[in-house]
Chain A
């Protein structure tokens, strides 16, 4: 007993592999807390991705169900949904798995200017830094989940996807690429006048107000980031399958995750997979609304639970973050 050691060396600093310690920096180089050791740091800027593998199921759903989950000022444009998994191998946030849903949508910024973009109501990731780098500055709606996504077999002909959270399977699907064309693609595919949108909410620590914002990432790179577009697809990497090639599909709503209950597909059109590079620069804010909770606010309206009484949503398997 009583054997103790602390290793204080930081050899990576001398070789420039890690940035200066936050306590030794100007505060403009700290993007989030912990201010002594941020969950994502300024060495993720500019945020680039190399040879990520995108595997997108294309589905249709009831457009009224889609509209029902989109807040003002997001306007859904059609019933075609991108339902996608990604393997990120090389990114400024390290490697991680990702899932998301993208609607074709527009926003009127209040001046009559219409922004067109893919809008994300749901996203799941396997890595904490990527979750909070997406959520906090930009408003990406990221949660953590167990995600398995891969291609295998001869010529990587077979694909399989699985996502679970808190003991419930949210989604799984698998099948074989036939390389047949799909009957429909999302409106924003290949359109350089369509960007990406998120609905960001920033609540003050004392909960006295919440600022709602729509953030927008245009397709074209901003000044200083070089020429071209944020998303660079390798056309030689594209594989496809239609609905009949998707051998199995299971999607379910859970007590913790509502996607399967909110937008059940009316048709599974197929899947499109490809390899791509990406840059995510700072986002524009195209719409803002501040909601105040003033002196007359009834706090009882947001105290949904009873103190010290734990119910269905408070009980699940003890989470073990596997990124350890």
Chain B
């Protein structure tokens, strides 16, 4: 006789740590993403906090033509003030978050937005982000973050302090996107302009496409440094809190570096680097509240729209090693 076993455990009936699924909760205003039977992430992600994450940011110098391609205009403009050419090229180890642990990579460029009333919004804009977790990618994408999944490695080890040497690497679909190794020499590194500025927030560009592909709405989102009023009763102050006692730095001379574009990821082609000025690594706590939407624009497609592919003909971008998933 065959063995057929079903273990129909409903964890939300065993512990309040697990929220009942949306279809059981009933109150439709509490449903954030599909599917109501079992969403990829749910209300126990909120408020979205992070504790003791480690940020390791390579600071690279990029000229204006490079940065201009990275920042969508309209509606954004490049920041043209102090250290405008310093771009952050960063990895993060997230240990404790409401989305669970994950590794992350991103690029941040200083940018501004002038609204129709003349108000100027300043922020770091993210052209690229990669993560190792599906739920963290999706939760970010709902807010407009440009997240993809990739394989990421972060190692700090050895030396007098036990964390003197570092290795970072990122691959996707079998291609190496970036690798950096080196040693923290704790020399002075000039950060991008937005470091430590409480009047600077973060920009993202979300795109929402209709199910019939007839149009896409672009939405510029903005997360201010200060927490919104609705959250002030719960958490005080600013979103990002550095623990300065853990900060390490490496000068450009202490960093080995390789980056390339791939058929699937153009970051290594678009981010043209004049100089790798150094690396700044620190530990921090974080809160990510919902952003505000500053600008929208809809782009319509004709009914005859057929994309770029030829049916049933598979080329370079459709061929890579099959994955069993994560």
Contacts and interface: CB of A to CB of B under 8 A. Distances in A.
A binds B: yes
Interface of A: 1-10, 12, 17-19, 21-23, 27-39, 41-48, 50, 68-71, 87, 89-97, 120-122, 124-129, 131-132, 135-139, 141-148, 166, 175, 198-207, 210, 212-213, 215, 224-226, 243-255, 257-262, 264-265, 268, 277, 279, 282-285, 291, 293, 297, 299, 301-305, 307-308, 310-324
B293 A18 contact: no
Interface string B12-33: 1001011101111001111111
A320 to B, nearest CB: 6
Given A33-B146, A131-B134, A260-B9, A23 B2 contact: no
Given A2-B255, A3-B256, A32-B207, A205 B10 contact: no
Nearest to B38: A258
Contact of A42 (B308, B319, B325): B308
A314 B291 CA distance: 23
Interface stretch (B113-121, B156-164, B192-200, B268-276): B268-276
Contact of A28 (B43, B170, B299): B299
Contacts of A257: 38
List the 7 closest pairs (A to B, CB-CB), nearest first: A324-B151, A45-B307, A34-B146, A126-B325, A141-B35, A144-B134, A128-B149
A30 to B, nearest CB: 6
B10 A261 contact: yes
Contacts of B269: 8-10, 21
B314 A323 contact: no
B29 A291 contact: yes
Nearest to A204: B293
B148 to A, nearest CB: 5
B247 interface: no
Given A35-B72, A310-B96, A249 B3 contact: yes
Nearest to B304: A224
A36 B259 contact: no
B117 to A, nearest CB: 18
B130 to A, nearest CB: 9
A318 B314 contact: no
Contacts of A277: 312
A259 B38 contact: yes
Contact of B270 (A21, A132, A250): A21
Nearest to A2: B253
6 contacts: A18-B263, A34-B129, A45-B305, A284-B211, A317-B101, A319-B132
B212 interface: yes
Given A2-B252, A18-B316, A319-B326, A302 B213 contact: no
Given A46-B306, A122-B35, A305-B47, A10 B261 contact: yes
Contact of B6 (A71, A224, A260): A260
Nearest to B45: A305
A50 B21 contact: no
A39 B148 CA distance: 6
A147 B142 CA distance: 26
A40 to B, nearest CB: 9
A261 B234 contact: no
Given A201-B31, A303-B234, A92 B314 contact: yes
| Interface-central residue, A33, A41, A198, by most chain B CB under 10 Å | A33
Given A92-B314, A258-B10, A260-B6, A37 B128 contact: yes
Given A206-B290, A258-B12, A291-B31, 12 more contacts: A8-B261, A23-B69, A31-B216, A37-B267, A68-B23, A143-B135, A215-B211, A262-B8, A279-B311, A307-B234, A322-B324, A323-B172
Contacts of A39: 141, 146-148
A5 to B, nearest CB: 5
B320 to A, nearest CB: 5
B263 A312 contact: no
B77 interface: no
Nearest to A213: B211
B205 A33 contact: yes
Contacts of B320: 94-95
B308 A43 contact: yes
B234 A313 contact: no
A283 B211 CA distance: 5
A46 B326 contact: no
A18 B300 CA distance: 23
A302 B40 CA distance: 16
Given A257-B38, A258-B37, A90 B318 contact: yes
A144 to B, nearest CB: 4
B142 A314 contact: no
B37 A70 contact: yes
A202 B143 CA distance: 11
A318 B155 CA distance: 14
Given A6-B259, A33-B146, A310-B96, A302 B2 contact: no
A215 B211 CA distance: 7
A311 B27 CA distance: 24
